[in-house]
Amino acid sequence: MRKLVLAAALSGTTLTLAACSGAADETAEPVDTAEVETVDDAAAAETGAVLDASTATAEQLVGVEGVSEELAAAIMAGQPYASVTDFNATLLETLSAEEAAAVLTNVFVPVNLNSGTEEEIRLIPGMTDKMVHEFEEYRPYADMDVFDREIGKYVDEAEVERFKNYVTL
């Protein structure tokens, strides 16, 4: 997968250099943009990207498991959300706590690492009491590298990357 992305990037760079050099190289092969887009879409799916409830469109929301057209309309009506607790309150108006938690896995309002409340941090999918404590203990975070290093002491790299879908600075 990474080789495909690298090959696509190198092909684009080669074409750019050829165009800038002023020499028309008729042997250069055109980049298959459909393949590049597929790679990008697959990469986005691999990273487990989470929609921001404050900016997601109705079409994006309806594509999420557990989000009906009616719920998508209710979510859109509340945009932008001040916090994930406000968003969760909107979900709980029509969903059970379990159903709301399932939606929060894919649609979320990022929690600010330096100012988020304990309640907001607890809404991050998969959060445990220990991790809530660790998130708060290392405040203030100067940048995401500090987050990676400190939280990486307690969970593996994949889990740190998953947490990063739900936080911001």
Name the 3-class secondary structure at 168.
Answer: strand
The answer, yes or no, to whether residue 3 has pLDDT greater than 50, is: no
pTM beyond 0.85, yes or no: no
- 24: DSSP letter: -
At 99-147, the pLDDT tens digits run 999 999 999 999 999 999 999 999 999 999 999 999 999 999 999 999 9
- Whole-number pLDDT of residue 98: 97
Q: Is residue 4 pLDDT above 90, yes or no?
A: no
Residue with tokens 């690492």: 113
Tens of pLDDT, residues 61-97: 999 999 999 999 999 999 999 999 999 999 999 999 9
Nearest to 157 by CA among 148, 166, 165: 148
pLDDT in tens, 11-68: 444 444 344 444 444 444 444 433 333 333 333 334 458 999 999 999 999 999 999 9
What percent of the chain has a predicted confidence (pLDDT) above 70?
72
Closest by CA to 69, choosing from 59, 79, 78, is: 59
- Say how far apart CA 50 and CA 24 lie, in whole Å: 43
CA distance linking residue 88 with residue 118, whole number of Å: 14
**What is the DSSP secondary structure assignment for residue 169, as one 8-state letter?**
-
Predicted local distance difference test score (pLDDT) of residue 10 = 43
Find out whether the peptide bond into 80 is cis, omega within 30 degrees of 0. Answer: yes
Task: Count the neighbouring beta carbons within 10 Å of the beta carbon of residue 83.
Answer: 19
Distance between alpha carbon 101 and the CA centroid of its chain, in Å? 16
